[in-house]
Amino acid sequence: MEVWPSLWQHWQAKSAVEVVAFAPKRGLVAAGLENGEIQLWSVETGQQEGLSLTGHDDSVESVAFSPDGALLASGSWDNTIRLWDVQSQTAIGVPLTGHDKEVTSVAFSPYEALLASGSWDNTIRLWDVQSQTAIGVPLTGHNDCVTSVAFSPDGALLASGSGDKTIRLLWDVQSQIAIGVPLTGHDRSVRSVAFSPDGALLASCSNETIQLSSTTQNLFAAYINVPHHNHHFNMSMSPSSWHKTLQNGWLKGPHNELVLWIPATYTAAPYHEQLVAILGRGITQVPHLKVDKMVLGTEWVKCYTPLLV
């Protein structure tokens, strides 16, 4: 695991952070808060950019940047979606309404001025970003809340995950018609869906499982079990051959020796090689462990005994 100097010693907000998203090529992170606000933060400086974006009346559960990073969409438990101009940090037009319940997920199409949204009302809606109007009728087919929506890399297909434990693979964006039958395999609510870069596979995750499905054949492709109670996790660490093993909270050295015990409170989300920053909940500080100057020994059970003169 590469250990970098901490970008932010701690990240402080007036309310719990519900969701974050990176802006393409702009060095910004958008954070949706439980109090209905949205904050933009600079990745380079770790400072908030401007004032909080306000307009939602309830928790912001989803944020997404447009492909060029110029626009930001937000979905809220106030049943609405809002569009924001990132440069001026102002709301564009009026809230997009049409969902009867909380909005859980928003996603921009890669190439067209389209926005998709999923909701607790079990439907998906498509929106014209330019006119800020709904396109067609709500997409129906799920029997429980829509938890996640994602466009394929070419923008032609839209996938959705639901609390009914299924994935709709896929919705044809042009005709707004579901392709094939719902994909099953998860035994709990589907939390998230994402396409592979080439669009050939769709990944979906539930509480303890990840499923890969073929987008060309609308068939199940692979199934990965990830038990949530097993926190064993190995990674290489710089500057030497250290590795971090999250097993009972112990940090271990290259020879599997016990080095440092970390309470479970601070090991909920370990580093990985693509991690740039961690956002804390509320005013909670994020611990940053540096091992390059750690003084180590082998006598774990011995106490210091002063030399008697």
Q: Does residue 257 surpass a pLDDT of 70?
A: no
The tokens for 287 are 């611990």
- Across the range 7-26, mean pLDDT stands at 74
In this predicted structure, what is the pLDDT of residue 178?
78
From the list 44, 11, 51, 5, the residue with the least C-alpha distance to 28 is: 44
pLDDT in tens, 259-276: 666 666 555 555 444 454
In this predicted structure, what is the pLDDT of residue 211?
82
Note the CATH number of domain 17-225: 2.130.10.10
pLDDT in tens, 91-101: 999 999 999 99
In this predicted structure, what is the pLDDT of residue 236?
28
In angstroms, the Cα distances linking 72 to 12, 150, 245, 256 are 22, 16, 38, 46
The residue with tokens 């997409």 is 139
**Which residue type does 25 have?**
K
3-state secondary structure 146-212: EEEEEECCCCCEEEEEECCCCEEEEEECCCCEECCCCECCCCCCCCEEEECCCCCEEEEECCCEEEE
In this predicted structure, what is the pLDDT of residue 57?
95
- Across the range 184-193, mean pLDDT stands at 86
More confident site: 291 or 274: 291
More confident site: 69 or 4: 69
pLDDT in tens, 113-138: 999 999 999 999 999 999 999 998 89
Which of 73-87, 190-204, 258-272, 289-303 is most confident? 73-87
Confidence of residue 204 (pLDDT cuts 50, 70, 90): confident
Does the pTM of the predicted model rise above 0.85? no
Q: Taking CA 276 as the corner, what is the angle to CA 189 and CA 31, rounded to the nearest 5 degrees?
A: 55
More confident site: 278 or 160: 160
- Across the range 243-252, mean pLDDT stands at 54
**Which residue type does 103 have?**
V
